Structure 1
Amino acid sequence: MDKVVSSAAEAVADIGDKASLAVGGFGLSGVPEVLIQALHDAGVTDLEVMSNNCGVDQLGLGRLLMDKRVARVVASYVGENKEFARQYLSGELELELTPQGTLAERLRAGGSGIPAFYTATGTGTQVAEGGLPWRYDAEGNVIKASPPKETRTFTNADGNEQEFVLETALTPDFGLVRAWKGDRHGNLIYRESSRNFNPLAAMAGRVTIAEVEELVEPGDLDPDSIHTPGVFVQRVVALTPEQAADKPIEKRTVRPRGGDPGDKIEKEGDV
């Protein structure tokens, strides 16, 4: 039952080339930075990543992108990462853009044993009809596009007929997540906004690895506060205090010192 491993390197040692990964986080909040760095150090490549976004240049999954270790991404957001956009538009990276709520549900469905589900999101668009560019060539021509998806009409909650599109579940080889607290059995608690995609990535991965900022003993966590039960987690990595405190900020916005709430908020770099 003790799922704690001695290091992040040991935890990711069996993740090989061409593996598929569900990675928690949103922007840079709740991103498993230590596991990503260990994966980078291991030298694996041609990875398929399923995550809300790919971090920013040199941070989060951006570490892997910068060295061209990622071959395919399933995500809902490309912004804030210039290298991500460059690789996609130049034909170096395949991207399956997915509506954010649909991505979340595809991960949750994968962890729940649900192979597919119908949703209204994307009906009447290229999400359902096909044709979204998945891969370009070096000249900017689309060489691979999304296929059309099955649609079906159901009666909605208002009693009216509505079209829905069939979306398939995601069941990656591994899930990488970061938790605020975790015990030796793999029960996890996430703190505030860092909860984001982490519970979903933990559910979806066939083998899930969690880095935890604070490791506690079994029984120390309030059962009603646990977000991810240990049944979904196979390995736990306890972070050092320095690793736990290292939490980069994607965008910092501040008010002038001594200002009131009505003052203009300035972006970092303007201050």
Structure 2
Amino acid sequence: MDKVMATAEEALADVTDGRSFAVGGFGLSGVPEVLIGALYESGASGLAVVSNNCGVDGRGLGILLAAGRIARVTGSYIGENKEFARQYLAGELEVELTPQGTLAERLRAGGSGIPAFYTPAGVGTQVAEGGLPWRYAPDGSVAAASPPKEVRAFDGVDHILEHAITTDYALVRAARGDRHGNLVFRRAARNFNPLAAMAGRITVAEVEELVEPGVLGPDDIHLPGVFVQRVVALTPEQAADKGIEKRTVRER
């Protein structure tokens, strides 16, 4: 099945308000910026986003956040995004913070058909006991907080129950992909992309290099095409446009 779409806008033409998205990337590495731009142009709002972080000011998911299009974020890192922090503390945005490894496993479990799992991460903290602020009120009080989670001991060690994540859509970026949706990621850009792709009911992948089926060796494929429904081939200019979150240099 040829899954290639003509444009990113066409690939997201059926998106409506209130949809949920799993989005790959870490900082600005492996972020599907062309698809995020198309989502912004669609005008959809009230979105629920699952991503390690929410981009930076002016790039990645940061452009949707600044436009007030995102209603809820499930992530593990607020990071360098000042607008993200401002909206959260002002009560304009609901945020579910979760340990990074737990977030990764929740996405993977969702894509694998596993409804929930136990993990020791978070035992003895508000992650397990509840009370983490999800949303603040305008006066700074907590308007909504996380509920307590089920705790169960395995071999004498407490674990908490975490539920899997599935979303309406997933947006990911790959270095190479074929028309059947098989994807290869490059180095650190692999990060959350395969996991996000697994969690989406409709997964859209933007690829820097589109190849014909059979070019990618079976052992080289990081994510099989069964998890991908739509593919968008980037132009050379789009593929080369990669931001750097924080540039560090030293004297030679």
For 1:144 and 1:31, locate their aligned partners in 2 and report how far apart those are by CA, in whole Å: 30
Q: Where does residue 34 of structure 1 map in the other structure?
A: 34
Partners of 1:197 and 1:137 in 2: how far apart?
A: 31
State the Cα distance separating 1:238 from its structure 2 match: 0.2
> Which residue of the partner structure matches residue 58 of structure 2?
58
One-letter amino acid of the counterpart of residue 176, structure 1:
L
Shift, 1:139, TM fit: 1.2
Report matched runs for 1:8-19 at 5 Å: 8-19=8-19
Instruction: Kindly provide the CA deviation profile for residues 89-115 of structure 1, in whole angstroms up to 9, marking residues without a partner as x.
Output: 000000000000000000000000000
Give the structure 2 partner of residue 229 of structure 1: 224
- Could you tell me how far 1:79 is from its partner in structure 2? 1.4
**1:14 CA displacement:** 1.0
> In 2, Cα distance between the equivalents of 1:146 and 1:14?
32
SS class of match (1:143): strand
2:184 aligned with 1:189: yes
What's 2:139 paired with? 139
Identity across aligned pairs (percent)?
73
Structure 2: runs of 5 or more not aligned: none
Q: Which whole-Å CA distance do the structure 2 matches of 1:231 and 1:248 have between them?
A: 30
Distance 2:208 2:243 in 1: 15
**Match 1:200 to one of 175, 182, 195:** 195
Aligned to 1:173, the other structure's residue is in SS state strand
In the other structure, the counterpart of 2:211 is: 216
Q: Is structure 2 residue 170 aligned with structure 1 residue 175? A: yes
Q: In 2, distance between residues paired with 1:91 and 1:134? A: 9
Partner of 2:67: 67
1:62 aligned partner, one-letter code = G
Q: Distance in 2 between matches of 1:232 and 1:79?
A: 29
Instruction: State the alpha-carbon separation in 2 of the partners of residues 78 and 17 from structure 1.
Output: 24
Distance in structure 1 (CA, Å) of the matches to 2:221 and 2:250: 35
Work out the CA distance in 2 between the residues paired with 1:137 and 1:43.
27
Q: Size of the alignment, in residue pairs?
A: 252
**Separation in 2 of the partners of 1:80 and 1:46?**
23
CA RMSD in angstroms comes to: 0.4
Aligned to 1:76: 76
Q: Gapped runs of 5+ residues in structure 1?
A: 156-160, 260-271
